Structure 1
Amino acid sequence: MTLFQMKSKSSRRVNDVKSCQEKYCKGIYLKGSEKCDKLDSGNTVLTVWKKSLLMNCTGFTVFNCKGNLIYRVDNYRARPGEIVLMDASGTSMFTMRRHKTLRLVDDWLVYQGDASDQNSKKKQPLCYVKKNVNILQTNSNVLAQVILGTSNKNPTYVIEGSYGQRSCKVIDKLSKKIVAEIKRKEATNGGASFGLEVFHLIVCPGFDSGFAMTLVLLLDQMFS
């Protein structure tokens, strides 16, 4: 494929996304009193839609409260071994790879940027995310653990709650503070319920919103 063909294909892909966004996404993103990216507390509020804007794909589409597309995921397989979180222009932000271990559960390695090409095979993962399956633990509310780096064995963050109910908290294990939260999106003014396909991702100051969305994607793989 020539450079011109690659650019042309990329341009068509972006135009397809913009066209679908205008056609299907009205009323999905935040409206009303939340008219800016951040609430009074400084938290960033995103609207997550469990839908790809491309045909024949599953995935996610993420908007800020102005209705601007900021992240997207387009998967051609229902249970992929690799997931890439992209920004609105299609640039890879984070790459997630299913980690094959003896444990019969979903464990994932997370890489910064694009880790899918041949030149990135030696790239070190940013973190390791493992599903919590120990039913003997006193806190059975823990869904997953996030372990930063490759040598660290203790989780930096734990995720608690119920992804099935779209009610989760990402907690800094050292400070015990919530750094991100998943909440149901409630209909306003007597409108129709959004169900589980559209929900809020609330990110606290200092925590990367792209990384927070990466954790949402892994929870979806683990608990959907």
Structure 2
Amino acid sequence: MGAKANAMPMVSKMWCSTSQVVLAVRTRPHVVYGGGFVVSDCSTQKVVFKVDGCGILGKKEEMILRDGNGDALLLIRRKGGIVEALNINKQWKGYAFDYEGSQKLVFTLKEPNSCLLKKNNPIRISTQHGGCGTAWDFEIKGYFPDRACCIVDSIGNIIAQVDMKKEVEALMTSASKDLYHVVVKPGVDQAFVFGIIAVLDYIYDGSTRC
């Protein structure tokens, strides 16, 4: 099932298209540590988003999602301290910047313990736009390292799907994981989707990680 076209924007309504969008993701080489990735529109080849990994920023467990012009959209960091030490689930939080530069919490992603990071173990996300009576609003189904997963809402609608580009998949090499595409459904906030993908990239030891 597809997501509703009038879905509420998470970061900004400017990132919610009225039609389905296919975006290509290419990881950047590690710059010292953690190079991040670049997201382009498959139809126009225009850069839509950039994710700076912790190596570029100089801070572990922190990333920034930027638009194609380099302006910061989301600050993404993992919660630390005593609370995390007592919790089996590490928590990632994504904060949007408003027009005054203040930070607003957009989503919280619970990262399973490392021993549970395996196939068919769902990763769940809660947002400030929840309120459906569930403890989570979205979850990851599938396995991101295989570039075969999707983000679904709490009633089972697919809002975005990660898949290999067919011509790259045929190569069946480790390098092929450096290029994949993401299909984002109509009305879904693309900035929110790539904030989630940035976290998945990090927790599965991808290009954003130091």
Amino acid at match of 1:113: F
Alignment pair present for 1:178 and 2:162: no
Number of equivalences:
173
Q: 1:62 aligns with which of 34, 39, 42?
A: 39
**CA contact under 8 A between 1:125 and 1:150: conserved in structure 2?**
no
Matches within 5 A, 1:33-72: 42-51=19-28, 56=32, 58-65=35-42, 66-72=44-50
Rg comparison, structure with higher value: 1
Which runs of structure 2 are paired with 1:89-168 in the superposition (5 Å)? 89-100=69-80, 101-102=84-85, 103=87, 106-113=90-97, 120=102, 123-133=103-113, 141-149=120-128, 154-168=135-149
**3-state SS of 1:201 partner:** strand
CA RMSD between the two structures: 3.3
Q: 1:48 to 1:108 in 2, by over 3 A?
A: same
The Cα shift of 1:127 comes to 1.5
Is there any run of 5+ residues in structure 1 with no aligned partner, and where?
A: 1-40
Of the structure 1 ranges 210-219 and 190-199, higher mean CA displacement relative to structure 2 is found in 190-199
Higher mean alpha-carbon deviation, 78-87 vs 66-75, is at 78-87
* TM-aligned CA deviation for residue 105 of structure 1: 5.1
Cα distance change of structure 1 residues 195 and 82 upon mapping to structure 2, 3 Å threshold: same
**How many angstroms apart in 1 are the aligned matches of 2:74 and 2:166?**
29
Indicate if the aligned counterparts of 1:85 and 1:214 stay in contact, CA closer than 8 A. yes
* Aligned partners of 2:130 and 2:137 also within 8 Å: no
| Deviation of the 1:151 alpha carbon | 9.3
**Structure 2, unpaired ranges of 5+:** 1-17, 206-210
| Change in 2 beyond 3 A, CA 1:191/1:67 | farther
TM-score (norm 2): 0.70
Are 1:223 and 2:201 an aligned pair?
Answer: no
Structure with larger RCO (C-alpha < 8 A, sep 6+): 2
Q: Could you tell me whether the CA contact under 8 Å between 2:54 and 2:63 is conserved in 1?
A: no
